[in-house]
Structure 1
């Protein structure tokens, strides 16, 4: 990779996903950056039509929502 890093980055920029190995073992994945973009309502509408999570109220009650001053001596 040291000798052709620029070429590998160009390939990733073009959309290819490359696995970088160290001594034959996968160590990292090099790929294109996903663009940030707005989604159309039609793409998301199905998510909101799913049934509500019936466990949410009990899960929410498990959250410790106590506000504390982190600099106050204990």
Structure 2
């Protein structure tokens, strides 16, 4: 049986349907992560994925974050979020608000 190389190219000289494209995820030890953290983070930022091993066992994955455009923590302009307030208002909101005790009290006063 022929196998794919890490480049995804079949090593067989003939075409075959059993070959698959496999991405190679590099494994790095915890010590290497500590010693080369800046370089490894730059590699991950450029799209590479790394598996971190502890005592030879895979323990964690270091992967790039989603692009900022899909991140929920991206700052938005009012125009981008104005539709959030365009729905029908709650007709019972004022009645619900009035049911709350509006008296101000000092919580530390005895």
Query: How does the TM-score come out when normalised to structure 1?
Result: 0.47
Larger Rg: 2
Larger relative contact order (C-alpha < 8 A, sep ≥ 6)? 1
Query: How does the TM-score come out when normalised to structure 2?
Result: 0.32
